[in-house]
Amino acid sequence: YEFSWNDVKILDQDPSFLKRIISEMIDITRQNN
């Protein structure tokens, strides 16, 4: 897996997008448990 710094820059510019990703990850984790 190659880490893309460009993606990080995009996330830094859009905090709301990052929050949505985190919330989705949490929901997926809850479903798996």
Question: Using an 8 Å Cβ cutoff, are 17 and 11 in contact?
Answer: yes
This prediction's pTM: 0.42
d(CA 1, CA 18): 20
21 Cβ contact list (under 8 Å, min separation 6): 11
Model pLDDT for residues 1-33, shown as the tens digit of each residue: 566 666 666 656 667 877 888 888 889 888 876
Looking at the domain assignment, is residue 16 inside a domain?
yes
Question: Residue 25 phi/psi, 5° resolution?
Answer: -65, -40
d(CA 31, CA 29): 5
Looking at the domain assignment, is residue 2 inside a domain?
no
State how many domains the chain has. 1
Give the range of the structural domain holding residue 18, as residue numbers without chain letter. Answer: 8-32
pLDDT in the model for residue 29: 87
Looking at the domain assignment, is residue 20 inside a domain?
yes
